[in-house]
Structure 1
Amino acid sequence: MSALKKIQFDSDGLIPAIAQDFATGKILMFAWMNAESLALTIEKQQAVYYSRSRKKLWFKGEESGHTQLIKEIFTDCDNDVILLKVEQTGGIACHTGRKSCFFQKLEHNNWIAVEPVLKDPKDIYG
């Protein structure tokens, strides 16, 4: 795929990927992609990441049902970060049951959860 030729993967063959809500601009999550996951994301128009801990492709929502439908894909000026503008199905991007993985805010030198749990993870993952 010619679009992949321009991408600057790191020495491990990975590139950081940010998922952003297409409608609101809210940052939903950060993950990693390799060439195969990026190619599948482009082909399927659905977010596919690479799980470093499991060392395998991670089709977002494969267990939870909370898929990310691609609206637009961007790369930065150095072609070493991917930005996915997505429609988050189910309104939950985080495995904690929240809309965004970025729900902890630093206040007075403490991390405070500032977003509610929309669905208990036990109900999502069994």
Structure 2
Amino acid sequence: MCSKTDTPDDIVEALKYNSDGLIPAISQQHDTGEILMMAWMNKEAVAETLKTGRVCYYSRSRQKLWRKGESSGQQQELLDFRTDCDMDTVLVSVNQTGVACHTGRRSCFSWAAREGKVEVVEDVVVSPDELYGKK
């Protein structure tokens, strides 16, 4: 466990990463408590997030750091960084600029299993083409 006097580097090292060197990170809107997304971080992403105050993840598909909002402008400002009791999951409390999901929805958790069916429970706010400059 970390203490009040630990540095960001101590926190990075204290976390328990999986065999791929990654840790799950849940993103939550600070003022509303809304869960926005889940992504992965490696040590470098955690360190950059703590150093810059802008949330950075690790993209497994691209095999590189993913600075949230880098291409879409939909950034996450870090307001609080927490870990669970096992130190193997992090919760980042953020101020989300715009939408969090690549589908153009506010949250990545926009589908719900209800009455034996999956339904969309959140509308698209901005088209993905507009988000990523394909228009």
TM-score of the pair, normalised by structure 1: 0.97
Write out per-residue CA displacement over residues 54-88 of structure 1, whole angstroms, 9 at most, x where no aligned residue.
10000000011000000000000000000000000
Q: State the match for 1:112 in structure 2.
A: 119
Q: What is the Cα deviation at residue 47 of structure 1?
A: 0.6
Matches within 5 A, 1:1-126: 1-90=9-98, 92-125=99-132, 126=134
Residue identity opposite 1:110 in structure 2: K
For 1:36, what is the secondary structure of its paired residue? helix
Residue identity opposite 1:73 in structure 2: F
- 5+ residue gaps, structure 2, are 1-8
Distance in 2 (CA, whole Å) between partners of 1:121 and 1:67 is 15
Residue identity opposite 2:77 in structure 1: L
Residue identity opposite 1:93 in structure 2: A
For 1:38, what is the secondary structure of its paired residue? helix
Q: CA RMSD in A?
A: 0.6
Residue identity opposite 2:126 in structure 1: K
For 1:115, what is the secondary structure of its paired residue? coil
Distance in 1 (CA, whole Å) between partners of 2:92 and 2:32 is 13
Write out per-residue CA displacement over residues 14-48 of structure 1, whole angstroms, 9 at most, x where no aligned residue.
00000000000000000000000000000010110
Query: Once superposed, which parts of structure 1, at least 4 consecutive aligned residues long, lie more than 6 Å away?
Result: none
Distance in 1 (CA, whole Å) between partners of 2:118 and 2:46 is 32
- Greater Rg by CA: 2
Aligned length: 125
Identity of aligned residues (%): 48
Distance in 2 (CA, whole Å) between partners of 1:124 and 1:3 is 33
Distance in 2 (CA, whole Å) between partners of 1:79 and 1:30 is 16
TM-score of the pair, normalised by structure 2: 0.91
